[in-house]
Amino acid sequence: MSNKEIEKVHLLIIGSGPAGYTAAIYAARANMKPVLYQGIQPGGQLTITTEVENYPGYPEGIQGPEMMINFEKQAVRMGADIRYGMATKVDFSVQPYRVEIDEENWIEADAVIISTGASAKWLGIESEQRLNGFGVSACAVCDGFFFRGKEVAIVGAGDTAAEEALYLSKLCTHVHMIVRRDAMRASKVMQDRVLNAPNITVYWNSETDEILGEHKVEGVRIKNTKDNTTQDVAIGGFFVAIGHKPNSDIFKGFIDMDETGYIKTIPGTSKTNLEGVFAAGDVQDKNYRQAVTAAGSGCMAALDAERYLSTKA
């Protein structure tokens, strides 16, 4: 690593969903001259969401990709340096911190905000990807509203799946819950609520064989893994709730994480175990995972970074 290869920046933001863009807006207004790298999916998970109806300030709703374009434009107008590129390696053992971009260029930063998000885990079947956004969703809280009055299916067996099944049961006429084993991983209280809900049917020892429909979800073929029989169930929406994976692998060994890879922050702040390194959005939030909470934590990270940098100045 020769010095001529290293660009020096004051504040580096890694990732570009609501958290990263909000951090960039606040940081640019505070004259921190932030540089933001957008990562593999500019705009984050919202770019694969169609209608967003629960973000305050949009009474008619807004398309997810359009919303992220607006966030980016606002950050640029404030003076943020938004760039294409992906962080591929970090060296947080020395200060200023070093981050490699696209496996070729190194950047040194006085402070870093990590807002790399989390990615939904998918089943990996062709019809799931083809119908994603056309009745297939990985967020019942985000998209359940569009299926009110319809029958839907959900796959998963943990607390999130149980919570989302119950949420859907209040909006939808019937919820078909597909569980791979003969038991759920969800807590006992959540299981009891699911099993006592009159409009939730649980399919034990079952998996999704196929999501049916050409241009939108029209049904699901459920396969019983004990006897290999299948049955087709007519539905209008299909929800995947088998978990999320935080995009935090490159920070392992430097940043404290929980057992599933979510970055640990000091409660009530965006601070990590390293001074001058902050985390915001879904990479550190496994409870809420909403655009509005991600944006709020991006604001916190920028304010925390500003205070840190001003003490170092």
- List the catalytic residues: 139, 142-143
- Residue 241 — φ and ψ, nearest 5°? -135, 55
- Integer Cα distance of 294 and 115 in angstroms: 9
**Long-range CB contacts for residues 220-223, cutoff 8 Å, separation at least 24:** 220/153, 220/176, 220/178, 222/153, 222/176, 222/178
Contact criterion met (CB below 8 Å) for 79 and 21: no
Cis, peptide link before residue 96, omega less than 30° from 0:
yes
Going by the DSSP 8-state scheme, the letter that residue 253 receives in this structure is T
Handedness of CA 141, 143, 146, 152 (dihedral sign): negative
Helices 18-29 and 64-78: angle between axes, nearest 10 degrees: 20
Give backbone dihedrals phi and psi of 44, rounded to 5 degrees, phi first: 70, -160
Distances (CA, A) of 180 to 129, 207, 271, 273: 20, 6, 38, 38
Question: 249-262 burial by CB neighbour count: b if 16+ within 10 A, else e?
Answer: ebbeebbebeeebb
* DSSP-derived secondary structure letter, 3: G
Distance from C-alpha of 184 to C-alpha of 32, rounded to nearest angstrom = 48
Q: Any idea what DSSP says for residue 48?
A: G
CA distance 160 to 176: 15
Give the separation between CA 299 and CA 312, rounded to whole angstroms.
20
Give the C-alpha separation, 140 to 54, whole Å. 12
